[in-house]
Amino acid sequence: MKTDKQNYEPEIVYSKSIKAGRRIYYVDVKKDRNADLFICITESKRMQGEIEAAPTFEKHKVFLYKEDFSRFMEGLEDAIDYIKDQLGEIEDREDRKFEPSESEEEPEQADSTEPTKRRGLFSYFK
């Protein structure tokens, strides 16, 4: 027989979804049984499958607790800065609906020489 502890599911008090191609990132703020808040980041990736079959999703979760926020952000920003130093400015993904036939194609470049600025995933944490 399961106890209340085993049945407890933290309450989601805030949620933000970020669509990024075949992935969706969910950033949920949850409240535990002691009324403490923490962040649960879920990556949900649509898996390639048969067209007739219902789509399947692979999910991965990371739990981030308030006492780790500053260290996590510092490490994340350091890693992003390293990548930018190595690769230069990184363009954001184009906003468009996922189409399986387009999954391996390169998006067409616009005629404009000005890149479009958008908010990336990590700008939501600031």
The number of folded domains in the chain is 1
Q: Quick one: average pLDDT of 67-93?
A: 91
The string of DSSP letters for 84-126 reads HHHH-S-PPPP-----GGGTTSPPPPPS-SSPPP---GGGGG-
Q: Quick one: average pLDDT of 45-49?
A: 80
Report pLDDT digits (tens) over 82-96: 999 999 888 877 655
Check which CATH number belongs to the domain holding 75 and give it: 3.10.450.700
pLDDT at 110: 43
Amino acid 113 reads T
Residue 78 lies in domain: 4-104+112-125
Q: How far is CA 94 from the centre of its chain?
A: 15
Name 16's bridge partners.
Answer: 27
Q: Long-range CB contacts (< 8 A, 24+ apart) of 103-108?
A: 103/22, 103/48
pLDDT at 93: 73
